Amino acid sequence: MHTLGLKIPLYILNINKTEAEDIIAYDLNWGKKLMPVSGTYIRISENQFLLFNNARYPNSQRYADTDGYPFPIKIKVSSPDEDAFEDADVVLELLTQVYQFSRLYWKSLRQQNVPITIKYPEMVAQIAPRFNNGVPDDAKDALWFL
């Protein structure tokens, strides 16, 4: 963007969906289930966060064990722009976008613990080997847009 002379802020979000158990959090104010409310985020270091995506919503006292206990996703926010983080609300907006993209899923009404920007390419990668003629050579080294 800088090379093009555009004054458009650029943010890069690294979303780690591995089910690491190194950092977890609990809601001690919610009975024996301990699951944090969906959409809760916790800063774990500078510009790095845990985001909880599950089926426990703020106005509900119910959370079925069958909904599972998904681990939070780790999100690291970075930017090549020096002044990118001067506005504290920007990070909140970015985390909210990740959370909202986790609620968009065409196969189920249940919220996923990862955003569709990760879930859908993962689904394509799972079905690509089943293409009758394989993936065309020129598409093997190109980024796909869903």
Q: What mean pLDDT comes out for the span 36-47?
A: 87
Kindly list the distances between the CA atom of residue 14 and the CA atoms of 20, 69, 78, in Å, as whole numbers in the listed order: 15, 22, 8
Q: Which two tokens stand for residue 116?
A: 């569709």
Could you tell me if 51 and 41 are in contact, meaning their C-beta atoms sit under 8 angstroms apart? yes
Contacts of 120 (CB under 8 A, 6+ apart): 146
Q: By residue range, what is the domain housing residue 53?
A: 12-113
Is residue 68 a part of any domain in this protein? yes
Task: Report yes or no: 25 and 71 within 8 Å, Cβ to Cβ.
Answer: no
The answer to the question of residue 118 being in a domain is no
| CATH classification of the domain holding 32 | 3.30.420.10
| 109-123 residue pLDDT tens | 666 677 777 777 777
DSSP, res 50 = E
Spatial separation of the C-alpha atoms in residues 71 and 22, rounded to whole Å: 10
Task: Look up the pTM and report it.
Answer: 0.72
pLDDT digits (tens, 9 = 90+) for 50-94: 988 877 777 776 766 666 677 888 999 999 888 888 888 999 999
**Does residue 134 lie within any of the structural domains?**
no
**Based on the structure, what is the number of domains in the chain?**
1
Query: Is 138 part of a structural domain of the chain?
Result: no
Q: Shortest CA distance to 19 belongs to which of 113, 101, 103, 94?
A: 113
